[in-house]
Amino acid sequence: MTALFYFSTLATAAAASMTILVASMVLYVGNKGCQAYEQLTLHQDSGVRHCGADDNPNQAEYITYRHAKHYNMLMQQKNDTQADRSTEPGDTADFGYRQVARADKRKLVDGVFSSVAARYDIMNDMMSAGIHRLWKRHYIATCGLRPGDRLLDLAGGTGDIARLAWQRLQGNVSIVLADINMEMIRVGRQRLDDQGLVRGIEYLQANAEQLPFADASFNVITMAFGLRNVTDKAAALREMRRVLKPGGRAVVLEFSRVTQPAAARAYDWYSFNVLPRLGQLIAGDRDSYQYLAESIRKHPDQNTLQQMFLDAGFAAADYRNLSAGMVAIHRGVSA
């Protein structure tokens, strides 16, 4: 009874908090679309963990792709301790509010998502009162995907974005769902397989900072709620720009800075007082959800991230706020 009362109290607080947020935030609806062009070309010289449509996801094997520039990807995927060979001793990166060695951040983030993979979507519903589903639908609806497109879905996780893209184009799309965490890929693949979404979807375990694809390979790149977990965001953006075809777009959906002060205070209170407790109750993991809340606060704001797109070599970049800036959709156009 005590546990039930505790849960009920937290659920009530969560609902009240999210009601405040929803009431104070406006979902921005835009119509801007992405341009789509030609076809995907894969590398043959670098290695990544790969699960094709006919493979067993529990027996993912290494396959090779054509691009000598990224030959060292195989060794980096096989040995996590060498994930960032360019990192000098003493270099640090944000892991939530903590500073950790850059070479350690990938392993720490991997541990977080391995821990939460099985209940990740349930917790997203609790975190956002289900609003994340509306954000994702709007995100895909305004991405301008066209029949026959080749889509790279980075941080594809449990498959929400791949599913929405596949359904929107009724399967007339070729999707590579990539994530650095194999547990998330397994959950996503199982979910999509169970829904009968098999044709035209491949699964890759890959690092967004070193993509194992040839230049000018994809029409569109999506990355939903994943960029903030990347150690070297600038490197990831450069890689996105590199593998996009001319006129292609990288479209990033990410938590950002709330623009209304009252809503920002309510959101902060919810994030640090309710979210970690929900993580403990639902997933048995308070620390991972504490990190998720902190990672949002450490992520670059809208204007900073827009400039990072331009610095990465995109010909143009813009963003659209959703829910008063609680999240933002960033678009970078490849020259």
Cα separation of 172 and 165, whole Å?
Answer: 9
Between 40-44, 214-218, 225-229, 233-237, the lowest mean confidence (pLDDT) is in 40-44
The pLDDT score that the predictor gives to residue 72 is: 40
What would the pLDDT profile of 247-273 be if each residue is shown by its tens digit?
A: 999 999 999 999 999 999 998 898 888
* Rounded average pLDDT over 207-214: 96
Per the model's pLDDT, the better-predicted residue between 12 and 260 turns out to be: 260
Q: Which amino acid is at 262?
A: A
The rounded distance, in Å, linking the Cα atoms of 253 and 161 is 11
pLDDT tens digits, 221-245: 999 999 998 989 999 999 999 999 9
- Give the per-residue pLDDT at 71: 32
Strand-pair category, 61-65 with 244-255:
unpaired
The predicted pLDDT at position 225 comes to 92
Per-residue pLDDT, 22 = 39
Contacts of residue 308, defined as CB under 8 A and 6 or more positions apart, other chains included, come to 233, 234, 237, 300
107 pLDDT band, cuts 50/70/90, is low
Residue 9 has pLDDT above 60, yes or no: no
* Of 14-18, 130-134, 247-251, highest mean pLDDT: 247-251
Reported as a single tens digit per residue, the pLDDT across 87-104 is 344 487 665 556 667 666
- Among 47-61, 95-109, 182-196, 208-222, name the one with the lowest average pLDDT: 47-61
- Given a contact cutoff of 8 angstroms between Cβ atoms, the answer to whether 273 and 245 are in contact is no
Q: How far apart are CA 68 and CA 80, in angstroms?
A: 21
**What is this structure's pTM?**
0.73
Q: What is the tens place of the pLDDT at every residue in 285-317?
A: 788 778 778 888 889 999 999 999 999 999 999
| Average pLDDT estimate for 99-123 | 68
Confidence class for position 59, pLDDT limits 50, 70, 90: very low
What is the distance between the alpha carbons of residues 45 and 71, in angstroms, rounded to a whole number?
Answer: 6
More confident residue, 196 or 126: 196
Question: What are the b/e assignments for 145-179, b being 16+ CB within 10 Å?
Answer: bbeebbbbbbbbbbbbbbbbbbebbebebbbbbbb
**% pLDDT > 70, the chain:** 65
Mean pLDDT of the chain: 75
CATH-assigned architecture of domain 28-258+283-333:
3-Layer(aba) Sandwich (3.40)
At 293 the pLDDT is: 82
At 111, is the pLDDT very low, low, confident or very high (cuts 50, 70, 90)? low
322 strand-pairing partners: 327
pLDDT (average), residues 136-149: 94
3-state secondary structure (DSSP) of residue 291: helix
Distance from C-alpha of 166 to C-alpha of 78, rounded to nearest angstrom: 31
Q: What is the percent of the chain with per-residue pLDDT over 90, rounded to a whole number?
A: 49
Exposed / middle / buried, residue 314 (Cβ in 10 Å: 0-12, 13-18, 19+): buried
Burial (Cβ within 10 Å: 0-12, 13-18, ≥19) of residue 262: exposed
